[in-house]
């Protein structure tokens, strides 16, 4: 039994719906292909929107008459329209091309300012008497599972810090508006705010002027407000001034 249309080859060549499926297949594999060949992680949101456009075009194409008269003219118009949509989407697709890896950025920023106690190749736990209250600490300010006599490798400390930073980032994102998360948090700025939250606490950073300004769209003002967190015990601390200044630079990266 033949399950194919009698003119399946002709349909495969001229059907609008068939060509919509071809384009959809290309769009589906394109991001993976681009990443595997040149290592660029393009914006998945834009690819998803292109897929929706092509699916809609395929549905409409199924309902449109396809007479032989002027068919090449119609196809040329459709091809130009698809090319125009892709061209307009290129800047958004390239949005992530130059962005560094988030984990690397936030790890570098945090470890620049978090103290460590090392003996040879190992990070050794210590009793931090400056903390209020004093508590056992290991690696880069890790306290949750720290205790006496602990020895951690660089890899173990990195894993601990990356996991903690991810928790702080997720908690802080709960204070950001959807618009901020979608359009105002490139990697460098996201790392700056996460570093602030890791230092002062999620609630403090989330309710801060820095976050409220960013949610209003005042990026520069929000980055400036980060520098206000430079006091400990009611007095300005030089180390915090330097840390906040570095976070502000990360926050302002890419702004005009």
Yes or no: say if 186 and 99 are a contact pair by the CB < 8 Å rule. Answer: yes
Kindly give the confidence (pLDDT) of every residue in the chain, 256 residues in length, as a single tens digit, with 9 standing for 90 and above. Answer: 456 656 656 666 667 677 778 888 888 888 788 777 776 667 777 777 778 877 887 777 666 666 666 666 666 766 676 666 666 665 656 555 456 788 899 999 988 888 788 889 999 999 988 777 889 999 988 888 999 999 999 999 999 999 999 999 999 999 999 999 988 999 999 999 999 999 899 999 999 999 999 999 999 999 999 999 999 878 999 989 999 999 999 999 877 5
d(CA 200, CA 171): 13
Q: Which residues pair with 231 in a beta bridge?
A: 236
The confidence score (pLDDT) of residue 78 equals 65
d(CA 149, CA 129): 16
Going by C-alpha positions, the residue among 114, 246, 123, 233 that lies closest to residue 192 is 246
Q: What is the DSSP letter of 97?
A: T
For helices 238-252 and 219-226, angle between their N-to-C axes, nearest 10 degrees: 160
Yes or no: say if 31 and 42 are a contact pair by the CB < 8 Å rule. Answer: yes
d(CA 59, CA 76): 19
d(CA 86, CA 160): 42
Going by C-alpha positions, the residue among 164, 223, 169 that lies closest to residue 194 is 169
Contacts for 215 with CB less than 8 Å, ≥ 6 apart? 175, 176, 177, 179, 180
The confidence score (pLDDT) of residue 195 equals 94
Torsion, Cα 178 180 182 186, to 10 degrees, reads -150
**Residues comprising the chain, all counted:** 256
The confidence score (pLDDT) of residue 50 equals 79
Per residue in 80-106, pLDDT tens? 766 666 666 656 565 554 567 888 999
């Amino acid at each position: 039994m033949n399950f194919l249309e009698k003119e399946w080859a002709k349909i495969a060549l001229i059907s609008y719906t068939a060509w919509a499926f071809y384009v959809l297949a290309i769009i589906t594999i394109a991001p993976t292909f681009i990443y595997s060949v040149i290592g660029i992680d393009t914006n998945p949101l834009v690819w998803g929107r292109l897929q929706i456009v092509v699916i809609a075009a395929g549905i409409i194409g199924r309902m449109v008459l396809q007479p032989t008269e002027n068919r090449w003219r119609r196809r040329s118009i459709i091809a130009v329209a698809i090319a125009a949509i892709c061209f307009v989407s290129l800047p958004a697709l390239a949005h992530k091309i130059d962005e560094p890896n988030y984990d690397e950025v936030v790890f570098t920023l945090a470890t620049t300012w978090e103290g460590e106690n090392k003996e040879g190749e190992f990070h050794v736990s210590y009793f931090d008497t400056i903390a209020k209250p004093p508590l056992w600490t290991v690696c880069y300010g890790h306290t949750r599972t720290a205790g006496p006599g602990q020895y951690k490798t660089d890899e173990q400390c990195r894993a601990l810090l990356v996991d903690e930073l991810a928790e702080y980032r997720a908690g802080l994102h709960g204070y950001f508006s959807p618009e901020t998360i979608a359009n105002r948090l490139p990697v460098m700025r996201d790392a700056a705010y996460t570093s602030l939250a890791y230092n002062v606490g999620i609630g403090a950073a989330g309710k801060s002027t820095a976050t409220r300004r960013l949610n209003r769209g005042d990026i520069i003002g929000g980055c400036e407000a980060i520098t206000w967190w430079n006091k400990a015990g009611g007095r300005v601390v030089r180390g915090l001034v330097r840390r906040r200044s570095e976070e502000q630079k990360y926050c302002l990266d890419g702004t005009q």
